[in-house]
Structure formats: structure tokens, C-alpha cells
Amino acid sequence: MENVRLFIKSLFIQVLINKEEMQKWGYKFLTNGKINTFINSNPYFAVLVGTLSEENPKNTGIYSSMIAMYGDNFICNYLKPVILLTALLFIIMKVYIAVIPLFMLYFVIITLIRLLSYNYAKMIIKDKKMLFNESIWKISLNIMKYLKILLIGCVFAYILVYFVIYLKINPLYAILSIFIIIALIIKNVNILTLMVLWLLILNLKV
């Protein structure tokens, strides 16, 4: 019952994030007021950090930093881009209905992370072994890494083909789109955002 209670509380943790204190009050919330320091970690692994910290408050900084690094890598660098790129490919192919199961899959994964973190933290405390050191974690990250590269390649190849076709139809507008994308690159816009914007620009009716 304890893990269910923490799971429900963890759903509200991102509401508590702000520029000044990040997730300080979130972890104080999860650890029943025992953590009162600046902690920055991945919000989806909040229950994991909170449970470990409650067991050993002195190592709170170590837990939060390490879990933030692996959590951000898994969620932000791989899981989100893979889901979004796959969804973009389905949209390109006009298979819109397939996008719904994709986002449901993402929701299931992050929900399981939140729900199972409590029991997993207890296992770490007992066995002194982190998932991040296990081969299955490293293999899954490598799979997602290469899948992300493959998906980026597929979407970018489609955009280039589409651009060449559009270059023949409306060369001035196609060239203008290149300048817009270059300007966005200078502004350090995320590559996935760039590809979506380029597709939208090329699809505008002018």
C-alpha cells in the first residue's frame, strides 16, 4: 500500500518544479518532510530517490545526482525521441491511428517506473546493487540509441527527398525554408524540433 501512496504522490511532483528550487519541495513531499535540501533528479524516478534518501539521508545528493544522470539519459535522450520520431514517421505515412498506441506505450513505461520504484529501491537497499550497473540496462540503452539514430536518418531522408521535389515546384520557397532552418540551427533548436518545423514549412500552402 505504501508504494501505491508514493506513486500517487509522485504524479504531482512536476507541479512543484520551479527555476529557483527545482525539485526540492517535491522530494520533501515524497520523504514526509525528511529531505530539506536542494535536490535535482529525474522526476519519473522520484520515488526511487525518495525511498533511498529516506533510508540513508546522508547519501541523498549521491542518489539524486546518479539517478538524474541515468534517468534523464533514458527518458529524455532516448525514450521520448524514439516515441516521437516513430510517431512522426506514422504521421508521414498517414497512419494516424498508430500514433495513439505509441503514446499509450510511453505512458505505460513511465507509469511502471513510478509504480515499481518503491519496491526496486527496497531491493537496492537489501542487495546493494543498482539496475544501472546491470547489463540489461546497458543493452536496452544501446538498442534505443541505435534505434534513435536510425529513425532520425529515416525522417531526415524523407525530408530531403521531399525538399528536392519541392525545389522543382517552388524553388524560391524551398530555398527560403533552408535559410529558416539555418537560422534555427544557429539558435540551437533541438534536431527533432527542427525536422518537424521543416516538414511544416514545406507543407505550408503558399
Domain boundary among 94, 114, 133: 133
Going from the C-alpha of 49 to that of each of 9, 30, 61, 137, 138, the distances in angstroms are 13, 9, 9, 18, 20
Partners of 18 in the beta sheet? 22
What residues make up the domain containing 92? 1-133
Closest CA to 155 of 147, 166, 145: 147
Task: Verify that 115 and 17 share a domain, yes or no.
Answer: yes
Domain boundary among 68, 102, 133: 133
Cβ neighbours of residue 55 closer than 8 Å, sequence gap 6 or more: 121, 125
Task: Verify that 56 and 112 share a domain, yes or no.
Answer: yes
Q: pTM of the full predicted structure?
A: 0.74
Task: Verify that 62 and 12 share a domain, yes or no.
Answer: yes
E strand or H helix at 115, and its extent?
helix 99-127
pLDDT attached to residue 206:
44
CA R_g for the chain: 21
Q: What is the pLDDT of residues 135-172, one digit of tens each?
A: 777 788 889 889 999 998 888 888 888 788 877 877 77
Tell me how many domains the chain contains: 2
Task: Verify that 111 and 145 share a domain, yes or no.
Answer: no
Orientation of helix 2-10 relative to helix 46-55, angle to 10°: 130
Task: Verify that 6 and 64 share a domain, yes or no.
Answer: yes
Task: Verify that 55 and 89 share a domain, yes or no.
Answer: yes
When pLDDT is cut at 50, 70 and 90, the band that residue 192 belongs to is confident
Q: What is the mean pLDDT of residues 37-45?
A: 68
E strand or H helix at 178, and its extent?
helix 171-186
Domain boundary among 75, 109, 133: 133
Q: Residue 91 pLDDT > 80, yes or no? A: yes
Task: Verify that 89 and 10 share a domain, yes or no.
Answer: yes
C-alpha grid cell for residue 104?
A: 499509450
Instruction: Compute the distance between CA of residue 52 and CA of residue 6 in angstroms, rounded to an integer.
Output: 13
Task: Verify that 101 and 181 share a domain, yes or no.
Answer: no
